[in-house]
Amino acid sequence: MLSYTEENYLKALLKLSFQNEDKPEAGTNEMAAYLGVKPATATDMLKKLKEKELVTYKKYGKILLTESGRKSGIAILRKHRLWETFLYEKLDFSWDEVHEVAEQLEHIQSAKLVDKLEEFLNFPEFDPHGDPIPKANGEMPELAKSLLSELQVGELCRVAAVKDTSTLFLQYLEKLSITIGSQLRVIDVVPFDGSLSIQIETEEPRSVSMKFAESLFVQRI
Amino acid identity of 166?
S
Identity of the residue, 8 or 215, whose beta carbon is nearer to DNA in the bound complex = 8
The reply to whether 37 sits near DNA by the rule CB under 7 A is yes
Phi, psi (deg, nearest 5) at residue 107: -95, 0
**Angstrom distances, CA of residue 93 to CA of 77, 160, 173:** 19, 19, 16
Whether 220 contacts 151, CB under 8 Å: yes
- Window 94-123: contact mask with a second copy (x via CB under 8 A): ---x--xx--xx--xxx-xx--xx--x---
Report the distance separating Cα 168 and Cα 144, nearest Å: 26
Closest C-alpha among 192, 214, 199 to residue 148 = 214
User: To the nearest whole angstrom, how small is the minimum distance from the Cβ of residue 174 to a second copy?
Assistant: 17
Residue 16 Cβ vs DNA, minimum distance, rounded to whole Å: 11
Is residue 162 within 8 Å of 130, Cβ to Cβ? yes
Q: Which parts of 76-95 interact with a second copy (CB under 8 A)?
A: 87, 90-93
Q: Counting contacts by CB under 7 A, is residue 66 touching DNA?
A: no
How many residues of this chain bind DNA (CB under 7 A)? 26
- Name the residue nearer to DNA (CB basis): 89 or 103: 103
Which residues contribute to the site for a second copy (CB under 8 A)?
87, 90-93, 97, 100-101, 104-105, 108-110, 112-113, 116-117, 120
